[in-house]
Structure 1
């Protein structure tokens, strides 16, 4: 018999990079909030933090981790090249942990943005850039590990670059203007490409409707198999929340 009280989220095990045999019939019939949860921690009713998830997230949560295929570096590069950013997704059990995390933050801090500003960035509102242009002042941006990265090859390191300055978008396309893209390109080339290599770096900026934190400007950088020491240096030793014991 399943338990009826909510239980702490469990950290997932390592995931395979290729699609294994289909899951068992019994596993497939589980309600989405019980999938990837040990039997003794399953709840008969859906936890509050999973009640109002989108159809897309419900589909992901219904997938056993053992049936999930991690994106390869080639997948990532092609997705960014085609601007198919909405196709990135988290490993099902990691998505569950992420949703539990954001639900808890809204209860404790009022919003995810407030937590990010206060605890992750150490910035105060109003957020105002000191430099006259993007990347001119080092206090105007911060590179951190992505706290809840997408389901990709473990050799891929997912970073987020948070900025105090806006990155100009074309209101018609909601994509970066040519000038803004050139500014980011130049900075990414200087900071990452020169150290890691052109074929092992991609960057992208999510569309507004895909952002989990909408009011603090940021874009994503993915590196393939970079030197761990370089990653520690560029992030000032940051550790993503998904790797911390408290989460």
Structure 2
């Protein structure tokens, strides 16, 4: 049987781990996810730094996607968290951010307690030299209600923060940031934006994330390809 003949939920799964039926966490997979999951890992193209920059600069954020096996693990783990915590946002708030509330202690970007920088737990299919961080905030980042994009004031606030926090330590040519459109967010209730760094110093990364480790590295093979 060739890859083309396999249902999407068996691709990239070792034959001895094939489930008899489609796993619950993949039953409602959307067409985009099904297409990605149908792609053999060895045929997947990881985005280069230049391609990442082009996507962000052209605001085509929807082009970001996870590598096939990473997407499968992400969907499996997300389903697990929903069962255990009721919603992924509850897990993020309690376990990852360890915030008791989302009440800011000051105006945007003025109080360090209102901000936390962590790794993206399930990064996109990009060059492995690119580090994907998420900046979580207790304060809102205002959006234009008509376009759904950031207001010019909010965009400038983020730009100033990124310049101060990241570009002072990393070559500005190796730093880029973006904020997902509301329709693309996987966690809606907690404000956040993304920062990507190319070939960043590990010492700086440990300091800026307070030694954080992404979930994808912590769970590893604990997410079984066959049954999630």
Shorter-chain-normalised TM-score: which range? over 0.9
The runs of at least 4 aligned residues of structure 1 exceeding 2 Å deviation read: none
Three-state SS of the structure 1 residue aligned to 2:10 is: coil
Match of 2:105 among 130, 137, 142: 130
2:157 equivalent to 1:183:
yes
Match of 1:237 among 200, 207, 211: 211
Q: TM-score, normalised on structure 2? A: 0.95
Matches within 5 A, 1:1-247: 26-125=2-101, 127-131=102-106, 133-245=107-219, 246-247=222-223
Name the residue aligned to 2:226.
none
Using the TM superposition, give the Cα deviation of residue 44 of structure 1 relative to its aligned residue in structure 2, in angstroms: 2.4
Three-state SS of the structure 1 residue aligned to 2:183 is: helix
Three-state SS of the structure 2 residue aligned to 1:101 is: helix
**C-alpha separation in 1, matches of 2:29 and 2:112:** 38
**C-alpha separation in 1, matches of 2:16 and 2:8:** 16
How far does the alpha carbon of each residue in 1:168-215 deviate from its partner, in whole angstroms, 9 at most, with x for none?
Answer: 000011000000000000000001011111110000000011000001
**C-alpha separation in 2, matches of 1:150 and 1:225:** 16
* CA-based RMSD: 0.9
Using the TM superposition, give the Cα deviation of residue 32 of structure 1 relative to its aligned residue in structure 2, in angstroms: 0.4
How far does the alpha carbon of each residue in 1:79-116 deviate from its partner, in whole angstroms, 9 at most, with x for none?
Answer: 00000000000000000000001000110000000000
**C-alpha separation in 1, matches of 2:191 and 2:5:** 41
**C-alpha separation in 2, matches of 1:216 and 1:68:** 31
Identify which of structures 1 and 2 has the higher relative contact order when contacts are C-alpha pairs closer than 8 Å and 6+ apart. 2
Gaps of 5+ in 2: 224-228
**C-alpha separation in 1, matches of 2:163 and 2:171:** 9
**C-alpha separation in 2, matches of 1:43 and 1:243:** 24
Using the TM superposition, give the Cα deviation of residue 43 of structure 1 relative to its aligned residue in structure 2, in angstroms: 1.3
**C-alpha separation in 2, matches of 1:167 and 1:38:** 44
